[in-house]
Chains A and B, each alone.
Chain A
Amino acid sequence: MRSHRTARHRLAAAGFAVLFAATLTACGSSGASTGSTGPAALKWASSYFPTHWDPVVSGSGAQFRELALVYASLTRTDETGKAVPDLAASWEYNTAGDQVTFHLRPGLKFSDGEPVDAAAVKAAIERAKTQKNSALFGDLTSIKEVTATGLDVVVALSQVDHQIPQLLGQRVLQVASPKAAADPAKLDQNPIGAGPFTITQLVPGTKAVLKKNPDYWDAANIHIDTVELVSAPDSSTVVSGLQTGVYNFADIVPAQADAAKKAGLDVFVQPGFNAANISLNVNKAPFDNPKVVDAVRHAVNREEFVDKLSFGYGEATDQPFPEGYIAYDKQSKDKYPYDPEKARRLLAEAGVKAGDIKLDLVIPDAQPAAEIVQSQLAAVGITLNIKVDKNWSKPFFAKQLTLSLYGTTGRDSAVQTLTAHFGPNGPLNLSSPYEPEGFEAAVKKVRETPLEAPGYPEVLRAATRAGLESRALVFTYAAPNLIAKSKTISALPKNPAHIDWTGVTISGR
């Protein structure tokens, strides 16, 4: 009798153990490798919630980071900023360097069930080149023709260009399902890609709810089950939101870093290529006079921007990227040092008296940087009226403004950064079609040089030097990508300018 009872107890204990083990296994398979219970939920408050979810319309700006939740791209970048496989497992150039063939991973599909094949990639490239509201067509001028064969995408180029794998990453070629992209307007608010997550709910401009995509090619390394992406409210409230658990991840402004640290949050700088500038239109008076432009160049005190805006996290730069980046040209450093006396002299030589120049500085929202520019130019006799225009992007990208401010988050291809700023059709060149003399030839030389060639950095810097002759831009300072997160979220890969969720875990849920 006793042995029967013991046997029953053992059987019950064994059953409980099996059940417990099964439960643990189930938890493990949900994607969280931390062994804790509940789904791994990322609650991300973003100050740049995407307006457009069609990557062709959204363009290469900061919002590509959120779109990368949904879309995979042909290539991605590693921690050194170098192109590595994403949807394409490998690629090779022909000997001449004017054709590159990408080999896609087999068996992949978009979240609508469509196959990820060469035809889908071809459609994505052609759409980016031809769609009426494409923000990317200017970046794809080297691409002459795309041929699709099974999983092989052959990209024929109009010129030798070794930047293509670097270019066709998350900023320029996030690939959407061709079936969904047949209706671009619908895709814009109902994104369908082959990225690490799929959208389950999207409230335009406010909130997106996503869940892990089990069909993503690297799903095994995605340990986040759900993402709730929200448009961050006023920056002064973000830290409170993080403190109370409303969010567990947010980009913050430098002024909030101290409060975030005091609140016990993990504050870190994600490496990036950010650089702020003053954009001038040399096609309009008074900047059609080179002496006036030079006066502005010498009137700018970059250290003031750093001291007052970055709270110890930024640095001065006179180039479209921070110092230390491969394309940063040391020879061009301090070419136009802060010298208000010289600025006044140049204005006098241009025949301009103090108070003669009165301009609108048009910006999208009130920002202290505008007040600094205003006070620095006032000191040399140029009067600025700060004009906040909520519809700023339209006249800015239509090159209708005379003076504005812009901040770039950089590009994965250094050439793309340079052409975006200094090229005749560069979206960030307020003076289009103006381009500095010798820039085109210098860029051509960079394109022709393989990235691994020993002379590549010097050729690239020569192109930077040529670009910096542009009278259309005065660079000021490099702002950081400052992020505050709950300590339950593990460290992110230090992928420059990207937010990469590969391998990231959320514990203690």
Chain B
Amino acid sequence: MVRRVLSLASGRISVVILAAIALLAIFGPLLAPQDPLATSSDTLAGVSGSHWLGTDYLGRDVFSRLLDGSRASVVGALEVALMALVVGAIPGILSVYLGRVFEWVTLRLADTLIALPFLLFAVAVTALLGNGITQAMFVTGALVSPLFYRVARAATLAVARSQYVEAALISGASLGWVIRRHVWVKVLPPIAVALAQTLGTGFIIVSSLSFLGIGVQPPAPTWGGLLASDLGYLSYQPWAPFAPALLIMATVWASNLLADAIRDVSGEAGRALFADRKTRQPVGGAV
């Protein structure tokens, strides 16, 4: 799958961007040239040698805050995606096998979660449970989970009625073995597409929530939080929102690009394309 994705230009571009973002998340806080929380009297300063992206309203170095905020932004998005994957995909697969009651309950639950406006619900839940990154990501992960539920369920339904699966069950294979051996392999590609998509969505969610002051609390920086605070001082630093906005946009775009690439290579057409390229390569080399 990885080789197939990397064979596409879109796959390579997205992986490069996401890898860069991942490195930023891992090493960003270490690379920050100044203490991202240290205030100074030099407030709302312009771009200079000592402050590559200027300073904010409390005199903190914006470039350092951007680097330091990468981790919280990326981890937040990952938390949303993984939470959604666990909460959505597993019940999605099991809903095919665990009988009508389980199926009905999980379907209705998924319908309910889809109907909830996520920002409003996230605000309400954080008001109830306390305003923190864990609470916010838990809520948004749960709200995004129906996507995984539906994808996993649809893929499982297609496989569950296959003759080889039925044969395996008749031969006495356990349900767990069948899911691990046959179902999971078929369900994985669409889930990978959903996961890449959800990463992008997760970034938007984390950025939106921190823009609204939910999740990561000040003075800890996040890209969304930096964007929100910049807007209050636009008349002094009209260029300030560009850097965090650009990072958010690039990450979301790369995630969506990756999802497209995975979808392209995991479908019948994608596989055919890959096979065609493989067979044509020696011919091309001979010419």
| Residue B233, interface by CB 8 Å | yes
Answer whether A366 and B57 are a contact pair too, CB < 8 Å, given A234-B231, A389-B131. no
Contact of A236 among B39, B127, B234 (CB under 8 A): B234
Answer whether A366 and B231 are a contact pair too, CB < 8 Å, given A307-B43, A308-B57, A388-B131. no
| Residue B285, interface by CB 8 Å | no
Q: Which residues of A contact B236 (CB under 8 A)?
A: 255, 258
| Residue B17, interface by CB 8 Å | no
| Residue B7, interface by CB 8 Å | no
| Residue B270, interface by CB 8 Å | no
Min CB distance A33 to B, Å, is 35
Q: Are B219 and A374 in contact (CB under 8 A)?
A: yes
Q: Are B234 and A308 in contact (CB under 8 A)?
A: no
Answer whether A258 and B131 are a contact pair too, CB < 8 Å, given A308-B57, A368-B58, A374-B219. no
- The A-B contact count (CB < 8 A) is 61
Min CB distance A260 to B, Å, is 9
Q: Which residues of A contact B41 (CB under 8 A)?
A: 304, 307
| Residue B247, interface by CB 8 Å | no
| Residue A390, interface by CB 8 Å | yes
| Residue B172, interface by CB 8 Å | no
Q: Which residues of B contact A386 (CB under 8 A)?
A: 217-219
The number of chain B residues with a CB under 8 A from chain A is 21
Q: Are B235 and A366 in contact (CB under 8 A)?
A: no
CB-CB nearest in chain B for A390: B127
Min CB distance B155 to A, Å, is 41
Q: Are A255 and B233 in contact (CB under 8 A)?
A: yes
| Residue A253, interface by CB 8 Å | yes
Determine the main DSSP class of B at the interface with A. loop
| Residue A391, interface by CB 8 Å | yes
Contact of B131 among A235, A256, A387 (CB under 8 A): A387
Q: Which residues of B contact A374 (CB under 8 A)?
A: 218-219
Contact of A262 among B58, B130, B235 (CB under 8 A): B235
| Residue B232, interface by CB 8 Å | yes
The number of chain A residues with a CB under 8 A from chain B is 28
Min CB distance A116 to B, Å, is 42
Contact with B along A249-269 (1 / 0, CB 8 A): 000010110110010000000
CB-CB nearest in chain B for A260: B235
| Residue A385, interface by CB 8 Å | yes
Answer whether A236 and B219 are a contact pair too, CB < 8 Å, given A308-B58, A372-B58, A375-B39. no
| Residue B33, interface by CB 8 Å | no
| Residue B45, interface by CB 8 Å | no
CB-CB nearest in chain A for B219: A371
Q: Are A388 and B234 in contact (CB under 8 A)?
A: no
CB-CB nearest in chain B for A307: B41
Contact of A253 among B130, B213, B218, B232 (CB under 8 A): B232
Q: Are A308 and B43 in contact (CB under 8 A)?
A: yes
| Residue B59, interface by CB 8 Å | yes
Contact with A along B29-64 (1 / 0, CB 8 A): 000000001010101000000000000011100000
List which B201-250 residues lie within 8 A (CB) of chain A. Answer: 213, 217-219, 231-236
List which A380-397 residues lie within 8 A (CB) of chain B. Answer: 385-391
| Residue A365, interface by CB 8 Å | yes
Q: Which residues of B contact A255 (CB under 8 A)?
A: 57, 232-233, 235-236
| Residue A370, interface by CB 8 Å | yes
Q: Which residues of A contact B235 (CB under 8 A)?
A: 239, 255-256, 258-259, 262
Q: Are B39 and A372 in contact (CB under 8 A)?
A: yes
Interchain Cβ contacts under 8 Å between A and B, 24 examples: A234-B231, A235-B232, A239-B235, A255-B233, A256-B235, A258-B235, A258-B236, A259-B235, A304-B41, A307-B41, A307-B43, A308-B39, A308-B59, A365-B213, A366-B213, A368-B57, A375-B219, A386-B218, A386-B219, A388-B217, A389-B127, A389-B131, A390-B127, A390-B131
Give me 11 other A-B pairs in contact (C-beta within 8 A), A255-B57, A307-B41 excluded: A236-B234, A255-B233, A255-B235, A308-B43, A366-B213, A371-B58, A374-B219, A375-B37, A385-B217, A386-B218, A390-B131
A: residues with CB less than 8 A from B are 234-236, 239, 253, 255-256, 258-259, 262, 304, 307-308, 365-366, 368, 370-372, 374-375, 385-391
List the 6 closest A-B pairs by CB distance, nearest first. Answer: A259-B235, A366-B213, A236-B231, A371-B219, A375-B39, A390-B127
